[in-house]
Structure 1
Amino acid sequence: MCDALLEVEGLTLDYHTRGGVMRAVDDVGFTVGRGEALVVLGESGCGKSSLARALMRLLPRNAGGLGGRVRLAGRELHPLDDETFRREVQWQGLALVMQASMNALNPVVKVGEQVAEPLRVHLGWERRRALARAAEVFELVGLPGDFLRRYPFELSGGMRQRAVLAMALVAEPDLVILDEPTSALDVLTQAGIMNALKRVKAELGTGFILITHDVATSSELADQVALMYAGQLVEMADAATFFSAPGHPYAQALMASVPKLRQRERPRAIPGEPPSLLDPPVGCRFAARCPRRFADCARLPPAFALAPRQEVRCWLHQQDGMEDGV
């Protein structure tokens, strides 16, 4: 395994709503090694985007209760004040490509100026040097250098996605978080974006957290997989293990819902719907939808270590593995 780059322990995030306090991220922990790609999977509303916002401190006004520990390259991030975090961590340590980022570009500013802006604002580079660096990153993500002089409306959706990726990479961060980077793109464009990410990973050694609900696309990049359900991390495994032999019943149901080219069995839908995070179940949060539930599911399961890099939060594995923390 690679040296630890990002270490997350007991991360929590609450939202204050009219219906009460909603815990969107509940006791989440994982480690991302240098040059590794962690894929975070789960249904819509399970807390994936909230996890990204918690790591980047990009929180809405109704957010509260941010807890736990986050270490980047051994440095504790939560004790940092907002200004220090913005100046020393954002863009240089951690960068984020937001969901629906194709619409994040300013339509009246040339793309190159926007990609170069983090270098000018955060690192104090002069304009010509910053634009030269932007041109280098454009080439890395598969964009021609002359696109620096174009406006966002002159680019296709896939090109705008690559430009936003270039903006995240321009200051050479240790780790980039991508929230649904291919959700609004056609299949061929998705493949191009994933190839660009693999090239960046190989050439720069950049770490990635890829947040998505697209199992098939994510398998192209993943070294590790974290599966979230109703705010909790229910399985953590290396990619080869997760995609071939998932341990949690939800993971198994999720994999059974994915169409496969060389398999006659039809995809199966997961019955039911996730619980409300305003009033989550006391025990296992997947129990109401699980075909294998039994009496112990009325209690919240711990994480059981089934293998050196596989931990599953399910009572079915209490005889198979040792209790651990995901």
Structure 2
Amino acid sequence: MGDAPLLRVDDLQLHYQTRQGVVHAVDGIDFELKRNEALVVLGESGCGKSSLAKALMRVLPRNVHHQGGRVHLGDTELTALSDERFRREVQWSRMALVMQASMNALNPVVKVGEQVAEPLRVLRRWPRRQALARAAEVFALVGISTDFMTRYPFELSGGMRQRAVLAMALVAEPELVILDEPTSALDVLTQASIMNALKRVKRELGTSFILITHDVATSSELADRVALMYAGQLVEVSDAERFFSDPAHPYSQMLMASVPKLRQRSRPQAIPGQPPSLFEPPAGCRFAARCPHRFAACSRDPRAIRLAERHRVRCWLHDDTQAGGGA
């Protein structure tokens, strides 16, 4: 396969129809993901992160107003597949999703081991004994004793339930796992334990991850690359080391300045203002109203500027044609 990306997303769009109007939740997103790579999608609540996961996995509500763009997984154009082919050939077997709120993702009246084995029994028609044996292997991989396979979800702690849902996503050995806020309701020690389990899976199975979160500190443990989302768009996509040490977009810089750090003399700085409404996104740069560097060009929608290999930023400050116009 060489350096060909595992996942390529071009101009992805997902809009919802509501009583108040059309929500532009995902509005023209482009990125690539390599094999055995972890991409962290960061952003404030309501910026469209979870809608991005739903668009990729086709876990869509009934009120979709518009859906567009192209998604390639390896050599397969997913957007060209029918819903039935996508369900049969891609969901769980090649690409899996770990949703928020693990308790809601588990059937309360079915034993956990049976639920983890279910994708193999449904998609691959494995006999029950073989599927449960594979489930036991994945339980060990994510750090759960096989004793928990015969328990019901309510008998597990929050951290154990989250591991069980992760095991369910991994049981069919998909190439890509999307995790939507997998540690948001867990204590700090459990969060660290879950992140260690993910790193172990990435190392031993070569699985690629898209981790959707608003937690900068936790995400840095797993990230190879970072995509920062704002008001339905990606404003910066960068290697993790570069993003955390030298972010380029003003929103990225302000976000990193808001994160507490050890041995830091200055206090964390809050980002002023509020994100724009996704019902009527503003013309031009969507961060302009909160940006201390805004200038005349910001009234126009910025294009993605390539700063380095696999580093793009959506900001007029980095466009040579606008030199001298910014701060």
| TM-score for both structures, normalised by structure 1 | 0.97
**Structure 2: how far apart are the matches of 1:224 and 1:101?**
25
**Structure 2: how far apart are the matches of 1:2 and 1:139?**
32
Distance apart, 1:264 and its partner CA: 1.4
Matched, 1:139 2:140: yes
**Structure 2: how far apart are the matches of 1:192 and 1:320?**
47
**Structure 2: how far apart are the matches of 1:64 and 1:79?**
19
Is 1:12–1:27's contact at 8 Å kept on the other side of the alignment?
Answer: yes
The secondary structure found in structure 1 opposite 2:177 is strand
The secondary structure found in structure 2 opposite 1:4 is coil
Superposed CA offset, 1:98-144 (max 9, x none): 01123321111110000000000111001000000000000000001
**Structure 1: how far apart are the matches of 2:78 and 2:247?**
32
The secondary structure found in structure 2 opposite 1:291 is coil
Distance apart, 1:96 and its partner CA: 0.1
Q: Counterpart of 2:32 in structure 1: which amino acid?
A: T
Partner of 1:92: 93
List, as ranges, runs of 4+ consecutive aligned residues in structure 1 with deviation greater than 2 Å.
Answer: none
Is 1:91–1:171's contact at 8 Å kept on the other side of the alignment?
Answer: yes
**Structure 1: how far apart are the matches of 2:37 and 2:182?**
17
Partner of 1:130: 131
**Structure 1: how far apart are the matches of 2:92 and 2:133?**
18
Which residues of 2 match residues 221-236 of structure 1 at below 5 A? 221-236=222-237
Partner of 2:155: 154
Is 1:2–1:35's contact at 8 Å kept on the other side of the alignment?
Answer: no
Distance apart, 1:320 and its partner CA: 9.1
Matched, 1:269 2:270: yes
Which residues of 2 match residues 48-59 of structure 1 at below 5 A? 48-59=49-60
Distance apart, 1:79 and its partner CA: 1.2
Partner of 1:79: 80
Stretch of structure 1 that moved more, 144-153 or 81-90: 144-153
Partner of 2:102: 101
**Structure 2: how far apart are the matches of 1:251 and 1:101?**
30
Partner of 1:324: none
Structure 1 residue ranges without an equivalent (≥5)? 322-326
Output the aligned Cα RMSD: 1.2
**Structure 1: how far apart are the matches of 2:232 and 2:255?**
16
Distance apart, 1:3 and its partner CA: 3.7
Is 1:110–1:152's contact at 8 Å kept on the other side of the alignment?
Answer: yes
Identity of aligned residues (%): 75
Q: Counterpart of 1:47 in structure 2: which amino acid?
A: G
Is 1:2–1:36's contact at 8 Å kept on the other side of the alignment?
Answer: no
The secondary structure found in structure 2 opposite 1:266 is coil
Stretch of structure 1 that moved more, 91-100 or 1-10: 1-10
Q: Counterpart of 2:87 in structure 1: which amino acid?
A: R
Does the C-alpha gap of structure 1 residues 2 and 217 become closer, same or farther in structure 2, counting only changes over 3 Å?
farther
The secondary structure found in structure 2 opposite 1:78 is helix
**Structure 1: how far apart are the matches of 2:223 and 2:111?**
33
Partner of 2:325: none
Which residues of 2 match residues 16-95 of structure 1 at below 5 A? 16-95=17-96
The secondary structure found in structure 2 opposite 1:121 is helix
Matched, 1:211 2:195: no
Superposed CA offset, 1:10-33 (max 9, x none): 000110111222211011010010
Partner of 2:239: 238
Distance apart, 1:2 and its partner CA: 5.0
Stretch of structure 1 that moved more, 36-45 or 95-104: 95-104
Partner of 2:186: 185
**Structure 1: how far apart are the matches of 2:233 and 2:309?**
21
Partner of 1:298: 299
**Structure 2: how far apart are the matches of 1:2 and 1:131?**
36
Distance apart, 1:318 and its partner CA: 0.7
Superposed CA offset, 1:227-275 (max 9, x none): 0000001000010110000000000010011000121111111110000
Aligned length: 321
Distance apart, 1:64 and its partner CA: 2.9
Distance apart, 1:216 and its partner CA: 0.4
Superposed CA offset, 1:201-220 (max 9, x none): 00000000000000000000
| TM-score for both structures, normalised by structure 2 | 0.96
